[in-house]
Amino acid sequence: MKNNGGMPLIGDRFPEMDVRTTHGNMNLPEDYSGKWFILFSHPGDFTPVCTTEFYSFQKRYDEFRDMDTELIGLSIDQVHSHLKWTQWIEENLGEDIEFPIIADGNGRVAETLGLIHSGGGTATVRAVFIVDPKSKIRAILYYPAELGRNMDEIVRMIKGFKKSDKEGVAIPANWPENELMGDDVIIPPASSEKEIDKRMKQKKKGKIDCYDWWMCHRKA
């Protein structure tokens, strides 16, 4: 993968790296080959917003695993800090953090992924990488320090990507509760006159719905 000193781009292969985590040493993305995984960075342990996020990720962990998706956290804190923090979460909030957290004490991983803001000191920014089973980065999300992540949206994105990959379709806004199409999916626009005619015939037969030849949708 090409990395020019900044954050990798959507469509790039996730960069190979050996990392130290709360579950021991791991190799990314090899250890998650054949699976979806979500790597999310946080500015630091023992911080309020990050604590709510880790709690929320853990509460949804079974749902992520049901979608064949793994989670892995990251910050520049050391392993012992991660372990004390997850212990605090379990003792005080009642959730055992089951997914690994990368201890990036020297900032090497954060630098590779472009997670150190030039004007924000040494703490990692709040980012999310969604990586598919072929180790390709499918989405990158950035959040400011004061705004926690929305787990529903991250779950929705995994479901949408899997649906898109399986059926060769696109996913409308707010799916599966789109204001125009409900839980339908979007058929890719026709690329020839012959295909336009075919779409219009399918519409007449009730197989698909269209607002126009370039904006057709169907049941998933």
Q: What positions carry a catalytic annotation?
A: 50
β-bridge mates for residue 71, sequence order = 38
State the alpha helices, DSSP H only, in 48-192. Answer: 48-59, 61-66, 79-93, 108-113, 151-167
Q: How many CB atoms lie within 10 A of CB 126?
A: 23
User: Nearest-CA neighbor of 72 among 33, 23, 11?
Assistant: 23
Q: What DSSP element (H or E) covers 197?
A: helix 193-204
Report whether the peptide linkage leading into residue 176 is cis, meaning its omega lies within 30 degrees of zero: yes
Asked if 43 contacts 126 with a C-beta cutoff of 8 angstroms, the reply is: yes
User: Nearest-CA neighbor of 189 among 218, 216, 220?
Assistant: 216
